[in-house]
Chain A
């Protein structure tokens, strides 16, 4: 479903000069899977996901979503993706229904079908009691639900959650995770980025640990645990980070083990074939 190969993104920045935010990142996510991007703030998670949602353009490398290229076929990619981020706010002067309908209409959905779909989504997400409430009057939890409804309105096969639990209270965050899980169960392909270890542990099928724009290691939680001999994810995370810092040119070392591990566990060849054939259909 999602196929990221050798993705690099660099910016120029006053403090750091030319700054590589994402450095040769590769990963794949299949349907019915939650892929967790774990990393501290500034690790490059948001940049990866913004490129995935075609908001930013990659400096080099390719990103394909269900076979569509993010650079050459951005509108097709966007029709396949629902993007929920801490940065994707909702309009203050629109009601929940208007907001969700607006994005449904942008996706080219027919009016009567859209109304039905909105009703169903609002029912499922329990949003009916604030359907006509303007964005400025909503609580954080309500806003989050509107964002999710907005991302789900066109029933995309791929969903991207970028730090979506940031700033939510415990109840709302827990509800969000439940929604994410149920989406996985319905066969969606999900990417979930966060810096909260416990969320990853509870939720994600596979994890990529990002640091300074690079993926240090990737695999299922169990694979990572056994590969690094650490039981808790937190210890594992910091062990990886400190090893990375200790290696002067740590990237090569890790890339080798990384890709080997990746190929072993996920069978890179087959999955990429699958993606290509899917896209060409």
Chain B
């Protein structure tokens, strides 16, 4: 076992220094695919199972169908003997001809009234029969029916008799009910109830028409016209309507499942087996590894989805044909073209699921741990797939903005042949899907670049140690983890706080309480508490830093004023896209009335100053401060905006607030302080609550800015345009200003700051 000098040789010439990137991605992809295809478990769950599963389920369904076909419905009729004068309900051993429409067999048992001692006895017996399943339905015809309107009596004759006789003739209907005893817990009984109801209804019609005939009225008057339903949808669309809901759902659920298992095996499994480190020290770049693995997971996700849907289609077509349910044209195989749309849409969605699955799986140290992460991930992604199934959800601007859901609805529109609508929303769906995909792949890449994720030790977690560390390792300002926790804490607190509010207050004091409690108790208090427990400096963790640039605060104030017209415009767009429901608008009405009637100063304090302080300290202060670390400015802006948006609770408000959050977050990033954002927030809210009052000012010049309109005060369009320009200038100022990073770190390391800024100054001059 020796190696000689010459033997090892000079290979250097053969090693290409500039390796083409896609070649490595392809190599890794090919390896992963081969590896997965050699794994019996993966093959079984992804390929064999779907191929076997559907035929098995189909066979089972057929069996059950046959069983239910042969099972006759048990019906018991009590008291038929009273009905001699009436049209026959029962002929011999079955209902009279023409009363029963369905071919399903019925087993009819008759009881006469005198077989029971009294009505209670009958009630107990019938309840027991239905409960025990002796009969599926019991029909009780009370003896009063015998006294009911006699259809053969001639009205005139009866009237004549009335005058001479004591006996009261039955010429007016009496209130008698036919009792149908059924059990909602039994499907068979429920079906029975509907069928019996139909039988009785037809019987009653006969009865009525006989009465009318006997009174010389034309019975056809009862039905002056008929109803003929005509479905104008072509046959293929009728079929599509069924498949367009069913297929995307099945396909997406399988695409998710198909992504999870290979993702766990390719990351957590490799970590566990120790091969990940081998790969990491190979010349393949992290990016190439992620892309290769992502492509492999996506392929498996798509394969699973297509195989499952294919197998399901073949089986269901055969099974439904067997069950002869294909007659109404619903259960035939869907046309080929829609399936093509589905497969095209599957590519980005499978890639999206795969990227998320990879990123999540990277957190697990072993396959087993990876399995634990599946459930929460499923729970988070399922609503996106379920939402399009809800009745009334159609493709619109609002729904197309939701990732996955938008794509789902677009595919549905394509399957149903609404090409115009699909094409119109294609740009939005495309952008949203691409954006989601980019974020997910970026997350997956970051996971693969993070040492903490890839090399996390198998350390035992212990609460006391953790708490001790939390206290001992407090830093001057927030860590990203603490930020996420604080965000979750505030959102959860707000959610439960909202549940606790059951009615809208109708006094100003009530409204004040409604605003102050969540602001102070649910937003500010958790933030302050976390800042005290987890950080060493309240001032730094809440980012209460005077911005270095002296103009930052005045410009923020100006931005607050000039941005407001745009904010109002944005809010009106949002409510045009997602209209506020009438009930919500009525619920808000007393609120708005109280606000406009209350003293202005109180309103501004309550609705502008208080929320600005509490929300900014939480979102742009504590939470932002942790997320902005490690140079992740974009992350800080995105996360705080979304949390800020969600915390507003009402969808319409949430969207505008999220947009507002982008501006606030960006200013906060540029200035390194919470104060400018606070100023913008105060100004914006104050203007929102005082627009009506401002419009009523005596000053003539105010008309240049605000006009009164029937729908409330509005900004003059010209001012909106000017304000947009000024907003742009303010934002430009923040973009150009020297970032406050130096001064912010200066608070933490005073010495460093002066050195840094001095040297920078020296370079400038």
Contacts and interface: CB of A to CB of B under 8 A. Distances in A.
B277 A14 contact: no
Contacts of A12: 473
B5 A106 contact: no
Contact of B11 (A54, A55, A117): A117
A279 to B, nearest CB: 15
A155 interface: yes
Interface in A130-185: 147, 150, 152, 154-155, 175, 178-179, 182-183, 185
B103 interface: no
Given A83-B281, A106-B24, A109-B15, A90 B275 contact: yes
A106 B284 contact: yes
B277 A179 contact: no
Interface string A79-98: 10101010111111110000
B384 to A, nearest CB: 34
Given A14-B459, A90-B275, A78 B451 contact: no
B1 A175 contact: yes
Interface in B271-324: 273-275, 277-278, 280-285
A229 interface: no
B1 A14 contact: no
A89 B469 contact: no
Contact of A187 (B5, B15, B17, B466): B5
B274 A109 contact: no
Interface string B419-457: 000000000000000000000000000000001000101
Interface stretch (B31-39, B227-235, B621-629): B31-39
Nearest to B462: A14
B1 A88 contact: no
Contact of A155 (B8, B472, B473): B8
Contacts of A103: 282
Nearest to B274: A89
A220 B466 CA distance: 44
B8 A85 contact: no
Contacts of B34: 93-94
A120 B27 CA distance: 23
B392 interface: no
Contacts of A18: 473
A172 B477 CA distance: 53
A25 B4 CA distance: 33
Task: Give the one of B4, B8, B465, B472 with max A CB within 10 A.
Answer: B8
Contact of B274 (A17, A54, A88, A108): A88
Given A17-B469, A17-B473, A175-B1, A91 B275 contact: yes
B14 A179 contact: no
Contacts of A79: 15, 17, 283
Contacts of B8: 152, 155, 183, 186, 188
B220 interface: no
Contacts of A78: 281-283
B35 A55 contact: no
A108 B10 contact: no
A185 B5 contact: yes
B4 A14 contact: no
B7 interface: yes
Given A75-B285, A89-B273, A154 B3 contact: no
Q: How large is the interface on A (under 10, 10 to 19, 20 to 34, 35 or more residues)?
A: 35 or more
A232 B457 CA distance: 35
Interface in A179-205: 179, 182-183, 185-188
B461 interface: yes
A93 B15 contact: no
Contacts of A150: 278
Contact of B9 (A102, A155, A182): A155
B18 to A, nearest CB: 8
A14 B281 contact: no
B16 interface: yes
A49 to B, nearest CB: 10
A46 B27 CA distance: 28
A13 interface: yes
A178 B4 CA distance: 12
Nearest to A47: B455
B273 A108 contact: no
B19 interface: yes
A78 B23 CA distance: 17
A168 B280 CA distance: 24
A105 interface: yes
Contact of B1 (A85, A109, A117, A125): A125
B29 to A, nearest CB: 12
Contacts of B630: none
A154 B277 contact: no
Contacts of B277: 55, 85, 87-89
B2 interface: yes
A124 B3 contact: yes
A112 to B, nearest CB: 10
B10 A106 contact: no
A15 interface: yes
Given A88-B274, A179-B3, 6 more contacts: A15-B465, A93-B34, A94-B31, A107-B282, A110-B14, A120-B7
15 contacts: A15-B459, A56-B451, A75-B285, A94-B31, A108-B19, A108-B23, A109-B11, A124-B2, A155-B9, A175-B1, A178-B1, A182-B4, A185-B5, A186-B8, A187-B5
Interface of A: 12-15, 17-18, 50, 53-57, 74-76, 78-79, 81, 83, 85, 87-94, 102-103, 105-110, 113, 117, 120, 124-126, 147, 150, 152, 154-155, 175, 178-179, 182-183, 185-188
